[in-house]
Structure 1
């Protein structure tokens, strides 16, 4: 045991001396390309739902005052030449009956002034209710078709291997030998249930703004013809008893004045109806263009930040030993 310890001690001392007096290993420093893991920040384009304002041109009814020509009747003075009868007196001889006075009862017509009722047409203003259209924004439900994922059980055909136990006769050859088989296998078609993802169409209710035409009541002034009762002066023919004196005839030549009718021209003023054009203000319905805004959904591309794993090339400095096999030593 002691000899073994001395042997090991001498071997270790020889190894230490050989290492101390040995030559250092020869080599050189070289660059080695390696790949190093690193994380870099990148930007990814994604679609984000946003709202965009769109303008739509619509026509709305308005009332516009316009000047329209109308004809108005008015009375204008004028002069007219008329012929009037003129009585000229002259004396002519005639036989005159001398009358004896006597009284006689006679019935004479007389005109009695009276008032009679007449109907006169006049224009009176009235207010008439009319229906005027206007546009009103309302919300109406609409149905939108959307795709919804669903699982549906379906059956797919599949061939399975099925064994037939026992001996089976297969036939004979040309020499009469019989061919038989044992435990044959055959294919059997079965239907295997599988679940598949399908898309079905469903209706989703949404609301959208529409314009609905409604009617409101407005009052406009019109003129209507009415009859009013008036009283005018008139003459009424009546009969009245009266005593008059009459004379008996007795012829006597006398000179009497005779009236002769002649015609003379005379200028008189009259009133003539003329139509004069004037301008009246009326309301006329017109259409005015207006712009209405509406929010519609759009897809907008935005940049989002994320981290990506990359491999970068790195040059490392390594010591490469030089081998000297040609000289007979390592």
Structure 2
């Protein structure tokens, strides 16, 4: 606005002088060297963060079938010898009606203590392998949002002073003389590039500790039932010969029937339990290798355009008034 006011004031003064002297000003055209600014594009190399795919080996749990030995109980037939009593009849001589002292051999039953083997079930400690879960700390990658500083090019409006070359017509007086003006200035709105700092969100890989369940083999104490042979006291019936005094008749010998108890052995079928080893299928946890793709940050060089301010010389034509020695120009 100030430059425009000065231009209007100069034009007014020139008009007053022209009206006062009533003749156009004298002067010559000359060349004037002027430097003007100009913005030219240039290219610079900057580093830009990018993501590259890489492969990582990881352990994946799988189930594997294995054969393990187990004990299975079966019923097996067997034979056992038992004793059973038997009554048998026999004829023995007897005398009738005559009482005669005599010695007679008789058989008497007696009980005798004997040791008999028996089987007793007892518990025997054994060691058994079991799978016990344990927790193991592993490092797990996680992504975290972080703020990264960056520069962004923005344009701000700015007023610059710009000269208007050439002669400008200002009007005529009452005698027809034309009035012109030179070297006028005006304002021009330009957009000036400005780099401003901004913040952008990026993902950053970090590692944090987690617990992972695994299985280990431990031995625990268990008990199994086995048969142990022991001896117990038992009574066994036997027969013993003994002489006793009897009275017999001396008349007639007769035969009478007599019952006698004896023991006979007999085989009886029984069933006993035996353990047989068989193979059972179980699932066991194992691990296999697999490849997993991960994103890794890398730096990449790229070309970025920016503007550079330069000054260029130009020649412009200006009007220079000639002085006649009146003491003023």
Shorter-chain TM-score range? 0.3 to 0.5
TM-score relative to the length of structure 2: 0.36
